[in-house]
Each structure stands twice: as structure tokens, then as C-alpha cells.
A = this chain, B = another copy of it.
Amino acid sequence: MEKSVDAIVKNKVSEYVGTGATGDTIGLVIANVDEQILSQLHLDKKYHSLGILGARTGAGPHILAADTAVKATNTEVIDIEMPRDTKGGGGHGSLIIFGGDDVSDVRQAVQVALDTTKQTFGDVYNTTAGHLELQYTARASQACHKAFGAPEGKAYGLISGSPAAIGVIMADTAVKAANVNVLSVASPNHGTSFSNEVITHISGDSGAVRQSVIAAREIGKILLKNLSNEEPTNEFPSYI
């Protein structure tokens, strides 16, 4: 009964698109944004139709999902912000805004991104002590470029460990495992929103990037298990 009431409520406002796989992820649209708000938001370009993807937990999963969404639709990502969140965890939440010429385009982008979070949460591993996140794409697009400087059209990998100390070892292990290019290494005071993570961004040949990411994942799981005395677990199947 409560559920059917919810179902009715969920149809009540045109701005609501849906929710994502996990992480308190919500997708929303504005068909024609107010001019005052448009000028006060921090957007790369001033589109009038906006798609909005937000979460309490997760930035990488949402940025990779947005990357898939811009490939699949006539939109682009015009804002990516990373609050220090995860509801007491060590990482980020996210606010991502798509721009498009038509509300149907941005709605489609938001829907694709919401659907893709099932995949992009596949290599997020949690224990009570911390977390690991791995992402991989054979062809980075505009969202990964905007967020992390990933060269478009090339393979890109994201390697993150929390607490940050674990992320340092994952970075070193990844780069020793295959011949990849390090785009940057973010740490609590450099390139994160004071999150307790070291996040390494790599690009290069797709096989090498994937091999690097997998090597980082394996040592990360051992170290996080050593710290936690628990097996790190993912909520969705690994995709890498």
C-alpha cells in the first residue's frame, strides 16, 4: 500500500526521472531552466534543458555512467562537482549536469546514466574500514575528459583506495603492472574534496590499462582485508 502511494507520488512531478542502482542516486531534468538560476550555476555552456544526476555515495561510478550517456545521446556534460560525502565513508558523492537542446535528449542521458550505475558500481568494494574503486573504459568520452583529463577515444582507468594509504600502493602497483601513462594522482589535499582517497588516473593501450587496473584491484583487496579483517565486497558484479 505504501508502495502504491509512492508509485503515484513518483509520477507527480515532471522533473523526476528515477533512481540509480545504489548510493542514493537520483536523476532529474529541467525542461527550460530559469535564466537567473542558469547564470548562477557553474556550467561550461548555457543550455536551457538540463539533466541532473546526483548521489550521496559515488563520483567515479556516476562520471563513468555519464560518459556512457554522452556517447549514447545528443548531450554533453557541463558540470561535475564532487562533494565530500559517502554518508560517513571516505569518498565523494556527486552532482553532474548534462546540457542539451531538448528535454527529451537530457532525459534520455539521465536515464542511460542511471541504468549504467549497475555496471559502474561493479568494481566498488567496501569493508567497515574503507573502500576500493576501479573503473575502466576502452574509449573515454567527454565526461571522463572533463572530470579527469582523460584523452577522448583512448582507454582510461581509475584506481582509488581508501584510506588513502592503500591508494598509494595501488597506484604504484598499477603502473608497474603494465606500460601505461599516468594522467594524475589525486590525494586528500590535492585534487579531491578532502576525501580519504588516493585516486590514480591512467590512459594508454586498452589491454595495458585494463591489466593495470586489475593489478591495482588485487593488491587493494589484500591490503583492505588486512586492515579490516573482512573480505571487501561489491554490491554488483565486477565488470573489469
Contact = CB atoms under 8 A, between A and B. Distances in A.
Interface of A: 6, 9-10, 12-13, 15-16, 19, 24, 26-28, 30, 33-34, 36-37, 40-42, 50, 52-56, 81-85, 87-90, 93, 95, 97, 129-130, 162-166, 168-169, 171-173, 175-176, 181-182, 184-185, 187-190, 192-198, 200, 219, 222-223, 225-229
Contacts of A50: 168
In the A-B complex, the 7 residue pairs with the closest CB atoms: A54-B165, A88-B88, A83-B188, A83-B196, A40-B185, A193-B194, A84-B194
A28 B95 contact: no
B226 A129 contact: no
A42 B90 contact: no
Nearest to A229: B6
The binding surface of chain A is classed by DSSP as mixed
A158 to B, nearest CB: 14
Contacts of A223: 13, 15-16, 26, 28
Contacts of A225: 6, 9
Given A42-B190, A130-B56, A227-B24, A37 B171 contact: yes
A172 B103 CA distance: 15
Contacts of A87: 88-90
Oligomer: number of copies: 3
Contacts of A54: 163-166, 168, 196
Nearest to A88: B88
Contact of A90 (B37, B83, B130, B195): B83
A190 B82 CA distance: 11
B83 A24 contact: no
A205 to B, nearest CB: 15
B194 A52 contact: no
A95 B90 CA distance: 13
